[in-house]
Structure 1
Amino acid sequence: MAEITAKVLMEEFELTLLNDEESVTFRPVTTSDISRPGMEMAGFFTYYPAKRIQLLGKTEMSFYEQLSKEDQQDRMVRLCTYDTPAIILSRGLQPPAELTEAADEVGVPVFSADMSTTRLSSKLTTFLESKLAPMTAMHGVLIDIYGIGVLITGSSGVGKSETALDLVRRGHRLVADDSVEIRQEQEGVLVGRSPELIRHLLEIRGLGIINVMTLFGAGAVRNEKRIGLSIDLEAWDQKKQYDRLGLDEEHLKVFETDLPKITVPVRPGRNLAVIIEVAAMNFRLKRMGINAAEQFSERLTSVIEESDADQD
């Protein structure tokens, strides 16, 4: 999980720092939830979520202006805690003196944004959910095939990178090779990307490192992609019984998400790029409600039932 501070938000959303920079402490933001302290402005601090970013809009500040001087000072002192990562005023609003004084006392940065309160809250939440999402790294290759993010896994040397190169030559887009950083942005949504160090690079044994974007153009790569399907390549085992109909469903569990998984045996003569390409297209058809394996099973059952009826 990346560490996000108020300084990162200031640079990302072009926020203006309104209080004393020397007094500010850029604390880490630990939650994507945003707080609009309306109840707190009225004096109810029993369940005050101090560790959230506090967003003050026109409604909160209009109510604040109606308070007495003593209440105004009290509200701002209680609003600014050592746990509060930042206070942001929307619509270009300027902070009252009570707020800047209280914020400087404990080092809370106070920012101003030109956006409306609702839009700013939405943008902040989306950005923080992406950055604070749980993340892991997996050994494999991630390819965008017909709009489906396909994670190709398997033991070292099984042919993942060579298959990825063949898929790129067929017009598909490389996301990551060797190491795939996966984050769960929300339940059931996995997004993969490449580490910065090896972005757009592909390692081919005997050939070395190649830059896919330089060789095949910008249309052959993308920085990240939602993962929809996992394909595991394994050396062909004569003793193992492989699924020949496609009725069996396997899953790869990443965080709390069950990713559909297909095991493809590898042996000389099999065109893995074509097999994976067709697997991605078949996966799209299944999501559209067309399942060839189930249709075949239903036909077979129908034929058997008709045969039994004729015998009777």
Structure 2
Amino acid sequence: MAKVRTQDMLERFRIELLAGEEGVHREISMSEVSRPGIELTGYFKYYAKDRIQLLGKTELSYFAELTKEQKKDRAYHLCTDITPGILITRGMDAPEELIEACNQSGVPLMRSPYKTSRVISRITNFLEAKFAPFTAVHGVLVDVYGIGVLITGQSGVGKSETALELVKRGHRLVADDSVEIRQEDYDRLIGSAPPLIEHLLEIRGLGIINVMTLFGAGSVLTHKRISLVINLETWDQKKQYDRLGLEEETMRIIDVNVPKAILPVRPGRNLAVIIEVAAMNFRLKRMGVNAAEEFSERLSKMIQQGEHEEDHDYDLDF
């Protein structure tokens, strides 16, 4: 799991730091955000002290009605040794007691000008993306007609060359050779390139080329959702390949099963065009149009019609 510190959140959202500068390197271990409501009444038995604490208009309005001694007590208990930070929303002024407690304990006290609901949404999405399950896959990720296609296969089978042809045909490269994949939701996989090889493509015999420099900024993407896996393999005469498309295979990546197609490679096959068609066919399937199933239904109707005509001929002969 990636390490996230309060400093990362400050840089990401440009939040103003009010106090507790010594604690900006505290580690955030939870993606959930807490709004200490009942804690401000003095009940800290189940205080989620290991989360970012958000104080909105409701919390600060109640805090302002407490006595000076109660304010010091609540501020002291809010600032623990593992609290990653306290964030005030709507650009409101921070209470002096809270500023003093944060400076003494080293808990970063921050302020955002945005509404509480918006801040919660953005910070939660940011932390969930950081804490998402992660893996790396050997392959090439390309955006083809809006579909994130992960091209896999043995080394030297032609993945990068196929990706180069797709880029020339107007599609966009996300990652070559190594694809970093994060599961941001229960069924959502996001692929990206490692920073070292971002926008780069390796072509055997030619070397490393910069796709963005050669083809422009519109030829690359920083990340893309993976929707389809295309596995390239050397043509095997003894192997029976799917010719109808009725059987749908899947590839399990982390906890998600992604639709998978196997494309045999041999001279004369234009893999880029085939992958384009595979991406368009995948989009049609998601819209409810399945050519393989339509063909199967037509075939079944013709067989049934033929059997009915044979039975009718048999009745006439009898």
TM-score (norm 2): 0.95
- Determine the structure 1 residue equivalent to 2:232: 233
Tell whether 2:312 aligns with 1:299: no
Where do 4+ consecutive residues of structure 1 move more than 3 Å?
none
Helix, strand or coil: the match of 2:166? helix
Say how many residue pairs are matched.
311
Rg larger in structure: 2
CA distance in 2, matches of 1:4, 1:82: 17
Given that 1:152 and 1:233 are in contact with CA atoms closer than 8 Å, whether structure 2 keeps it comes out as yes
- Determine the structure 2 residue equivalent to 1:45: 44
Given that 2:20 and 2:105 are in contact with CA atoms closer than 8 Å, whether structure 1 keeps it comes out as no
Deviation of 1:78 after TM superposition, in Å, equals 1.6
Tell whether 2:153 aligns with 1:154: yes
Q: Percent identity?
A: 60
- Determine the structure 2 residue equivalent to 1:184: 183
Helix, strand or coil: the match of 1:18? strand
Given that 2:173 and 2:220 are in contact with CA atoms closer than 8 Å, whether structure 1 keeps it comes out as yes
- Determine the structure 1 residue equivalent to 2:12: 12
Deviation of 1:54 after TM superposition, in Å, equals 0.4
1:78-97 CA deviation, whole Å, 9 max, x = no partner?
21111211100011122222
Given that 2:33 and 2:54 are in contact with CA atoms closer than 8 Å, whether structure 1 keeps it comes out as yes
CA distance in 2, matches of 1:174, 1:58: 45
- Determine the structure 1 residue equivalent to 2:200: 201
Query: Letter of the aligned partner of 1:87 in structure 2?
Result: I
> Map of 1:1-312 to 2, 5 A cutoff?
1-21=1-21, 23-312=22-311
Given that 1:26 and 1:109 are in contact with CA atoms closer than 8 Å, whether structure 2 keeps it comes out as no
Given that 2:145 and 2:279 are in contact with CA atoms closer than 8 Å, whether structure 1 keeps it comes out as yes
Question: Unaligned stretches of 5+ in structure 2?
Answer: 312-318
Deviation of 1:224 after TM superposition, in Å, equals 0.8
Given that 1:135 and 1:184 are in contact with CA atoms closer than 8 Å, whether structure 2 keeps it comes out as yes
Given that 2:144 and 2:171 are in contact with CA atoms closer than 8 Å, whether structure 1 keeps it comes out as yes
Given that 2:84 and 2:108 are in contact with CA atoms closer than 8 Å, whether structure 1 keeps it comes out as yes
CA distance in 2, matches of 1:92, 1:178: 46
CA distance in 1, matches of 2:112, 2:33: 15
Given that 1:26 and 1:108 are in contact with CA atoms closer than 8 Å, whether structure 2 keeps it comes out as no
1:260-300 CA deviation, whole Å, 9 max, x = no partner?
11111111111111111100000000000000001111111
CA distance in 1, matches of 2:20, 2:271: 61
1:60-87 CA deviation, whole Å, 9 max, x = no partner?
0101111223322222222111121110
Deviation of 1:49 after TM superposition, in Å, equals 1.4
Query: Letter of the aligned partner of 1:223 in structure 2?
Result: T
Residues 131 and 20 of structure 1, relative CA distance in 2, 3 Å threshold: closer
Helix, strand or coil: the match of 1:174? strand
CA distance in 2, matches of 1:70, 1:113: 27
CA distance in 2, matches of 1:47, 1:35: 12
Query: Letter of the aligned partner of 1:4 in structure 2?
Result: V
Deviation of 1:25 after TM superposition, in Å, equals 4.8
CA distance in 1, matches of 2:226, 2:81: 39
Helix, strand or coil: the match of 2:182? strand
CA distance in 1, matches of 2:154, 2:194: 20
Deviation of 1:126 after TM superposition, in Å, equals 1.6
CA distance in 1, matches of 2:75, 2:20: 16
Given that 1:183 and 1:191 are in contact with CA atoms closer than 8 Å, whether structure 2 keeps it comes out as yes
Given that 1:175 and 1:224 are in contact with CA atoms closer than 8 Å, whether structure 2 keeps it comes out as yes
1:159-212 CA deviation, whole Å, 9 max, x = no partner?
000000111111100010000011111110111111111111100000101111
Larger CA deviation: 10-19 vs 153-162: 10-19
Query: Letter of the aligned partner of 2:308 in structure 1?
Result: A
Deviation of 1:20 after TM superposition, in Å, equals 4.2
CA distance in 2, matches of 1:19, 1:196: 34
Give RMSD over aligned pairs: 1.3
